[in-house]
Amino acid sequence: MSKVTDLISSREKIISIKQPHWIYLFQGFLWFSFFLIIGLIIDHYLYLYVGSKITHGHSYNLGGVFIPPDLFDIDLYFVTFNEEFTPIPWLFGGVGMAILWPYFLIYISHEIALTNKQIIHKKGIIFVDIHQVDLDDIRGAHVEHGAMGWFIGYGSIHLDCRFIDDVFLPAIGEPYQLVKALHNAQYKHPDIEYGEEEFIDNINDIDERRVNAMRKEKKRRLKQKAAMDFRKTQKELRDNNG
């Protein structure tokens, strides 16, 4: 059950509740996998060039450097390190886990709720931090995303607020739906002067920005594909002439 529902009064109506996009988990696991693979590769080549040449009970001379026979023989009771298994993958995996953890926390601890009176941004599990912004304090909402955001369908939202600091919401799926719902809630709010013509103009502007950004992304991808095809053709011509 959503935690932000406890912060909403009986007079408020929940319009939308959003969770962070799964891209946070993907990015975290990507970094974790990268560092773990690097650690395994280093461990493999360390064994290939050093560990496999060490004989138990004998010292080893590596390029003039004296290596004791027990250098790679460490017993920690629960894990044993020797010339065939070093702590390098564990160390790199630990670095990857340290990078993964903040992404994981964002995914499981952040929550965004839009009601007919305010936007609530909750973050944290044990030490919970709540940002509540009244609809009449929001002057505008801007969606920020990169090429990957357009391709997968996510984006973060920057709320331009008056009297208080601006609010930056984490990346969510279908961000323009939330922005449209926000403008619709402001339009229906009894204390906000929001004319019908201004409301329609803002909704059309959101749709136009979304379409234009999609066109730019399609153009970028077409240019990228054309450049790759050109390089491939040039390579084939060089290979045929050679």
Q: pLDDT tens digits, residue range 134-180?
A: 888 888 888 888 777 877 889 999 998 887 888 899 999 988 889 88
Q: Which domain holds residue 71?
A: 29-103
214 has pLDDT over 80: no
Q: CB under 8 Å to 153, separation ≥6 — which residues?
A: 173, 174
Residue that terminates a domain, selected from 103, 125, 150: 103
For range 65-75, the mean pLDDT: 53
157 and 209 fall within a common domain: yes
In the chain, the number of structural domains is 2
Q: Comparing C-alpha atoms, which of 21, 31, 3 is closest to residue 121?
A: 3
pLDDT at position 218: 67
pLDDT at position 162: 80
pLDDT at position 163: 77
139 and 84 fall within a common domain: no
Its pTM stands at: 0.70
90 and 171 fall within a common domain: no
175 and 227 fall within a common domain: yes
Within a domain: 9: no
Q: How far apart are CA 211 and CA 198, in angstroms?
A: 20
